[in-house]
């Protein structure tokens, strides 16, 4: 089984950006943390600050991966093109947020991605990615 | 470790109510499904259609459990008393929704519980409870 | 044929509460008034100030009654759990309001129950219950 | 006793227009269906696609009829002139909708007519007109 | 100088409709009252419950009258076609309301006509028409 | 008969401020223009840029004048204290605006004064004051 | 093939009304302009300032025409009865606006017709009708 | 004189719940504190997390108490049934909030109870109950 | 201990203005009524219709008084400068309203003062000032 | 004459993405379909998922093309930078949408591009591009 | 060159009021700080808590000063009379805010002054006045 | 000291785009104009139409520059990723707008960048960049 983990704008700054909210681990450390939980699952990682690059990646991933985990960063709140892309591709997409977006600024409570995601996990830090991958593996085995 | 799983109004009808949305398993079957995933964790289940009874249970649980998973059903969207109760008690509370509440009627997109939950998982059916418990176990071991 | 009439919060005060709006008959008198119109139909009555008790009753009624008439009182305007319960059960549910809810305070113009009701009757006082039962009998005979 | 039943815009298309929502009976058949329920009550029918013609009819009906049933069609949602006319005339006016307007597009949830109607009945198809006339007869006999 | 006074829907009911709000004089009496104030000005009156007929009249009046006074009745609040017609014709149009529309239901506070009117007078009963004509005469003499 | 004309903030700049909107006459010239229309009526004028001073004046005027004309300037849109003062005093108050406030910025469409005014006249330039005084004289003679 | 072109309120004033926005050609000239583009297609024209008359025409056209082009004028923004009529009839309906309604007053950005139109063309002046008819011809030949 | 003090959901947690906001005294200690201020007034206390139980209590209290003090907790913000109950019963009801609800989350600024309360006191901690009882005693003696 | 009681715009009219809402006592009588309750507390009174004068007074009071009671009148609803002044000064400020502002026009439900007040008391007439001073005395003695 | 057709995010997936909404033809097939209609017009095509790349292209196109057709995909609803770019460049820009954006999710009813487009065509599938080019050719020949 | 610096309500409290937000310097010290930057420019200072006094000052300044800097304090958010005054006078007006008004309470994000200011500078503390004066000097020399 | 000036989408068109609003100088000329004011400060310039490229640049600049000036163009109004990036990096960021964004279309009044900027300067044309750099230099020397 093959999973793609996509991180959106500013998530390359993990560990340096508001550590009280996002933790002290760098993105590389988070990715290693995630991989440590999965022996049999092939996991690729992709980060970009470019909405267009994420769209290109999602399109390309459509025939390659069995599931996708995405943390869209701030694109969550306005990037309807991401909404359309997720709706358009074949593999199920899990939406993950490191922090509890409902406990922060009001603009963060709207997700244009959530209506087309297979499921959403928020507020659990890096462990949220682990659970999202578990969900994808679970449904791949058990069916929907 | 001891976990309490609370289900709110109408969730006792699981399996009979809109099976296309909520699946065919009854609440008892869902509870058994959840328990099957955890050997070492003590899990209790509580369901009520009474907001007040859920508040009483949350208060009583404060000193007894190490973590709580709650699917507040439709109370999610208006029961600010639930918001206050979750904020008031000691153990972390995970919010779970069986369906993707963002892909349904617009009134379901507002959660008055989410801002005070430790984390939120939605759209993953009964497996969402399993992941929520995993998260509680994870953070109990690793710290927050 | 068997019909259940449910009255929600504060309707036990009928006759004492704002008689200009709700009339001078007590709930018992209203129930007798209703029963007087129906010889062959079995009619049960239930009143509660507890949202949870009404939900329990609706669930229990699902396999017992051929139709339900509900006047949810002020729950009409916020109790989404009632919305879900009505949607979840088998018998058709008629929504009744004694007064014209559109001619009063603005918060009374929203009904979270109406979208899932078989039909709605408002502004006709106790006679509204009679018409609602007639509608249930009519559709039971003629089909939908 | 003399009753006028008014149908607004597009209701002349009954039977041809969205039969899943409005049924297969033509307006003439619906009128015959209604008349079949009342032996002693004189019932006249009027349909127009012209707001102005309905206003003229309401004014003329003021001294002629003992009660009026109106299904304003889409005028329900914006024709404040209808609101004013109903408020201005003598006989009580019952508002009827064939379908459950609360379970359809959001613009249909607002009725500018409801605040001035004697009562409202919705969701019961042609039988709604029958119940509305019964209510007018009932209150004419019993007083308000 | 030639002036046209247009009254919209339900104003033919003047004297019979809510006399506390609109006074006891009939439309004919109001028109006579207005005419009594002007010796040298030719005044024509037109009333219709049909938005379309008012539009036709406005178009026809464009080349005939030197000024128009309109009380659009409830069309004030939604008839954008009236807005467009007033904007399209040559003579200045004064908007008149018998009652103080700002002291009544909230839907009456919006006027889609006001932005294209030469001026607006409200709350002065039939005397408002007199002042509106005076204004038209004044500006015809003095220029704008 | 004794009338007070009150002008609010910035109206002392008349003639200098946006002459396209407000005309080229100074406030003194406008006052003279108004006085020219009335031989038998005693008219006093008051202008202030201070909301508090206008309130003081309205209070003092309560027992002295038979009618008040007020152009509140921008206070129209937010000064609820003006609303309360007008409601509290004895003489009728006419609201006047030089320009058509409905054809300008959207914030100008709300008047917190209008609901308590005897009537409102807008868009007629200085002649609007003349008509407002006529209305006060008219109603003083004829009764309301 | 047979096409009906309907123009709504105030479009009979074309050429005289705001020529900067709507051009200098009269409605007759516009109709001749349109007809000049189509040799083999039978095109009828209808204009009315009466919403009701347009509804009547749409109903009558249902069995006669293969396609309809409508420029609803200001009815676009509030006439839900037009929405219902277009939804109810058989032939496809193209919505046309002469001007770019999105570049004008904010009330013009809402179209209650667009959701039920086959397609919408705006901003292209009289040529928009030509393109709308081309679209109807195209889809009649090619299927939808 | 006899007074009932009602505390709503989560107020049984006083002293344990957010002590920075609500203080360190338990509900029992608060009740004792209140009682300490009144020698001649009989004061009963009631707390429940069940909206329905509070409604039942209010109904029962109608003929027993001379005044009621209620701190509805989070029910303040959505429980319209409480609104109706307070409106329906005989004794005056004072609304009390421990904290300044206007200085906290925005959802706390709406009170559905306030429009039917005799008066409201907020932000004064337990002393607010004392003042509310004083007000009830004051008005019972002096009349309203 | 030294207390300042500030009354805002139009409160000098007490006794003359809407006595049904505000009572028949003049402001001087109300002040005497208040003083009658306090023997040991020095109480000064200040009233102004000028927002700026109230701001000046609040600033000057900062070092002189131990507590301030303010009834801002209509300034309550829009005077953010009052908000800032109360936040800026040293002594605690109690907000008092004679009437129940939540049971009146909708614009009165917003208070820009409440978020920065020590507490709020409304609906209790002149006795509200007495309770507000009691609260200030209470907290001065007991600490916050 | 030289025309540029720009397609925005996700339109490279045409034929694979929601074929019920967007049809089965790929973007290449759609482009060939368009070109088939024009012999004398030079047409270039550009697609990108990157808003920035589309902006760059629009800037570069300013001096090269005589007209531009753009289907901005989901950028339609939020990309104000596209709004600014279209306003800034020389050639007229036609906005095209394959589907009827007014008959889908509510977020699709807002177009930030429409106010600056020369015209808009929606709901006509690939044929909409053909009509858009025809419009550009038409206006290039006839002038605006 | 002659510049007037106006400070609105509560700014006389600088140094004492929320020093974390506004700094520790008094208004006199801030004024001295500003003057220290300008040798050749004549700078006058004015502070008032009275909206009316600020309006009077602005009017008087119209013919005296070459530029005005205003920090309207809380008047920024509601004083439309200030908006009108700034629009009415001759010299350019720079709007200055000490703190970043966009990072504070939501009511502070609306400025009714900004649309008529020559420019706006916020978030830079007292140095913002210096830059605002520099801008006025710059444009006086270079033209607009 | 080292400063980076970032210009967002469409600002490369300066001089060609709406010169009435943005002036006739090209971006290169504006940059030269800015540099001319600073002898001792090292200033780099960056322009991109790609939101992602601006994010990359901001991240890279975090350790290199002592201050950043950004004119985000239309990204100002929706690019929450920019908000997050500015919050995440080390150097202070000044927001600059050439035109007065509050005096233009309503969508331009919202800035998602302003809440996280060190300060904002708008309406001063290219000179706004100069003042922004001065502010950065000032605070670097004096501390915050």
pLDDT confidence of residue G106: 86
What is the separation, in whole angstroms, between the first and last Cα of chain B? 16
Q: Compare K17 and A102 and report the one with higher pLDDT.
A: A102
Sign of CA dihedral J50, J51, J54, J56: negative
Please give the Cα distance from G96 to L53 (Å, whole number): 41
CB < 8 Å to F16, chain K: 88
For chain K, what are the domain ranges?
A: 2-142
Please give the Cα distance from A69 to A90 (Å, whole number): 13
Average pLDDT value for chain L:
94
Of F50, F78, F87, the CB nearest to I50: F50
Does the structure show a pLDDT above 60 at J144? no
Please give the Cα distance from E79 to E112 (Å, whole number): 7
Please give the Cα distance from I14 to I23 (Å, whole number): 7
Q: Using one digit for the tens of pLDDT, what is the confidence trace for K80-128?
A: 999 999 999 999 999 999 999 888 888 888 999 999 999 999 999 999 9
Does the structure show a pLDDT above 90 at L139? yes
Contact J18 A52 (CB under 8 A): no
Domain B2-142 has CATH 3.40.50.9100: yes
CB < 8 Å to F17, chain K: 84, 87-88
Contact F83 I74 (CB under 8 A): yes
Query: Token pair of B92, please?
Result: 């972390």
Please give the Cα distance from I112 to H109 (Å, whole number): 11
Average pLDDT value for chain J:
94
Q: Are F116 and F87 a contacting pair, CB within 8 Å? A: yes
| CA–CA min distance K80, chain L (Å) | 14
Of C102, C114, C135, the CB nearest to D124: C135
ipTM summary value: 0.94
Contact F17 K88 (CB under 8 A): yes
pLDDT confidence of residue I62: 94
Does the structure show a pLDDT above 60 at I144? no
Q: Are D113 and D86 a contacting pair, CB within 8 Å? A: yes
CB < 8 Å to E16, chain D: 88
| L12 contacts chain J (CB < 8 A) | yes
| CA–CA min distance C130, chain D (Å) | 10
Q: How many Cβ atoms sit within 10 Å of the Cβ of residue D24?
A: 10
Please give the Cα distance from B116 to B89 (Å, whole number): 11
DSSP string, E124-140: STTHHHHHHHHHHHHHH
Which residues are CB-neighbours of K111 under 8 A, at least 6 positions away?
K76, K77, K95, K101, K120, L102
Find the closest chain E residue to G17 by CA distance: E88
Q: Are G133 and G6 a contacting pair, CB within 8 Å? A: no
Average pLDDT over residues C35-46: 97
Q: 3-class secondary structure for I34-89?
A: HHCCCCCCEEEEEECCCHHHHHHHHHHHCCCCCEEEEECHHHHHCCHHHHHHHHHC
Reference H71, options H113, H41, H134; nearest CA is H113
Find the closest chain I residue to F58 by CA distance: I10
Contact J111 G102 (CB under 8 A): yes
Q: How many Cβ atoms sit within 10 Å of the Cβ of residue D41?
A: 17
Find the closest chain J residue to L10 by CA distance: J85
DSSP string, G67-126: EEEEE-GGGGGT-HHHHHHHHHSSS-EEEEESS-GGGS-GGGG--SSGGGSSEEEESSTT
Find the closest chain J residue to G103 by CA distance: J115
| A102 contacts chain B (CB < 8 A) | yes
Which chains are adjacent to chain C, needing at least 3 Cβ pairs under 8 Å? B, D, H
G97 is catalytic: yes
Average pLDDT over residues K55-84: 97
Q: Using one digit for the tens of pLDDT, what is the confidence trace for L29-67?
A: 999 999 999 999 999 999 999 999 999 999 999 999 999
Question: Which long-range CB contacts under 8 A does K101-106 form with residues at least 24 apart?
Answer: K101/K76, K102/L111, K102/L114, K102/L115, K102/L117, K102/L120, K103/L114, K103/L115, K103/L116, K104/K21
Average pLDDT over residues E8-30: 88
The secondary structure of residue F42, as a DSSP letter, is: E
Does the structure show a pLDDT above 80 at A137? yes
Average pLDDT over residues A30-46: 97
CB < 8 Å to F50, chain K: 50-53, 55
pLDDT over 90 percentage in chain E: 83
pLDDT confidence of residue F45: 98
Q: Using one digit for the tens of pLDDT, what is the confidence trace for H121-131?
A: 999 999 999 99
Query: Token pair of H65, please?
Result: 């108490």
As a whole number of Å, the CA-based R_g of chain I is 14
Contact D81 E107 (CB under 8 A): no
Contact E59 G49 (CB under 8 A): yes
Q: G22, G65, G83, G129: which one is catalytic? A: G22
* DSSP β-bridge partners for residue C5: C45, C69
Query: Token pair of I131, please?
Result: 């309770």
CB < 8 Å to J50, chain A: 50-53, 55
By the 10 Å C-beta count (0-12 exposed, 13-18 middle, 19+ buried), H44 is classed as middle
Please give the Cα distance from G98 to G116 (Å, whole number): 19
Query: Token pair of I43, please?
Result: 């109480």
Does the structure show a pLDDT above 80 at A108? yes
Please give the Cα distance from E11 to E5 (Å, whole number): 12
pLDDT confidence of residue F144: 56
| I17 contacts chain F (CB < 8 A) | yes
Reference I125, options I42, I46, I14; nearest CA is I14
Question: How many A×J Cβ pairs under 8 Å?
Answer: 56
Q: How many Cβ atoms sit within 10 Å of the Cβ of residue C2?
A: 13
Average pLDDT value for chain C:
94
| G48 contacts chain J (CB < 8 A) | no
Q: How many CA atoms lie within 13 A of F112 on its CB side?
A: 22
Mean pLDDT by 10 residues, chain G (144 residues): 97 85 88 96 98 98 97 97 96 96 88 96 97 97 74
Q: L22, L65, L83, L129: which one is catalytic? A: L22
| CA–CA min distance I127, chain K (Å) | 31
| F53 contacts chain I (CB < 8 A) | yes
Find the closest chain C residue to H115 by CA distance: C105
Average pLDDT value for chain H:
94
pLDDT confidence of residue H144: 55
| J21 contacts chain A (CB < 8 A) | no
Mean pLDDT by 10 residues, chain D (144 residues): 97 85 88 96 98 98 97 97 96 96 88 96 97 97 73
Query: Token pair of B134, please?
Result: 């995993």
Question: How many H×I Cβ pairs under 8 Å?
Answer: 72
| A114 contacts chain L (CB < 8 A) | no
- Hey, which residues of B are catalytic here? 22, 97
Burial B43-69 (b: 16+ CB within 10 A, else e): bebbbbbbbbbbbbbbbebbeebbbbb
Helical ranges in chain L per DSSP H: 19-22, 27-35, 51-61, 80-88, 127-142
Query: Token pair of F17, please?
Result: 């401020």
CA distances from D12 to A126, G86, J108 (A): 62, 14, 33
Q: Are J74 and A55 a contacting pair, CB within 8 Å? A: no
Q: Are E85 and E119 a contacting pair, CB within 8 Å? A: no
pLDDT confidence of residue H24: 85
Please give the Cα distance from I83 to B104 (Å, whole number): 41
Sheet containing strand L93-97, edge to edge, reads: K42-47, K2-7, K67-71, K93-97, K119-122, L119-122, L93-97, L67-71, L2-7, L42-47
Q: CA L120, L123, L129, L130: dihedral to nearest 10 degrees? A: -110
* Confidence grade of residue E17 (pLDDT, cut at 50, 70, 90): confident
pLDDT over 70 percentage in chain I: 99
Of H18, H48, H107, the CB nearest to B52: H48
- Examine chains L and I and say if they touch (3+ CB pairs below 8 A): no
pLDDT confidence of residue K70: 98
Q: How many Cβ atoms sit within 10 Å of the Cβ of residue I40?
A: 6
| G72 contacts chain E (CB < 8 A) | no
pLDDT confidence of residue A144: 56
By the 10 Å C-beta count (0-12 exposed, 13-18 middle, 19+ buried), C7 is classed as buried
A123: phi > 0 → left, psi -120 to 50 → alpha, else beta; which?
A: left
Q: C80, C97, C102, C127: which one is catalytic? A: C97
Q: Are L10 and L73 a contacting pair, CB within 8 Å? A: yes
Return the ∠ at Cα J21 (arms to J18 and J23), rounded to 5°: 80
Contact H55 C9 (CB under 8 A): yes
Could you identify the residue written with the tokens 């607006």?
E120
Contact J78 A80 (CB under 8 A): yes
Q: How many Cβ atoms sit within 10 Å of the Cβ of residue C143?
A: 6
Q: Are D95 and D113 a contacting pair, CB within 8 Å? A: yes
Could you identify the residue written with the tokens 């050639």?
J91
Does the structure show a pLDDT above 70 at C111? yes
Average pLDDT over residues J20-34: 89
Q: Which helix (DSSP H) or strand (DSSP E) does residue I6 occupy?
A: strand I2-7
| I41 contacts chain F (CB < 8 A) | no
Of A100, A111, A116, the CB nearest to B117: A100
* DSSP β-bridge partners for residue K97: K122
Which stretches of chain B score pLDDT less than 50?
A: none
At E121, is the secondary structure helix, strand, or coil? Answer: strand
Contact G120 J134 (CB under 8 A): no
């Amino acid at each position: 089984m093959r999973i793609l983990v996509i991180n959106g704008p500013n998530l390359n700054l993990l560990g340096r950006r508001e550590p009280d909210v996002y933790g002290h681990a760098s993105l590389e450390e988070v990715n290693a943390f995630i991989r440590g939980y999965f022996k049999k699952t092939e996991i690729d990682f992709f980060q970009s600050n470019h909405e267009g690059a994420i769209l290109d990646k999602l399109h390309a991933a459509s025939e390659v991966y069995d599931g996708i985990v995405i943390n869209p960063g701030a694109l969550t709140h306005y990037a309807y093109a991401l909404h359309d892309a997720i709706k358009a591709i074949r593999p199920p997409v899990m939406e993950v947020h490191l922090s509890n977006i409902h406990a922060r600024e009001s603009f963060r409570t709207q997700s244009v991605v959530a209506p087309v995601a297979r499921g959403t996990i928020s507020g659990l830090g890096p462990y949220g990615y682990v659970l999202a991958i578990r969900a994808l593996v679970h449904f791949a085995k058990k069916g929907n």
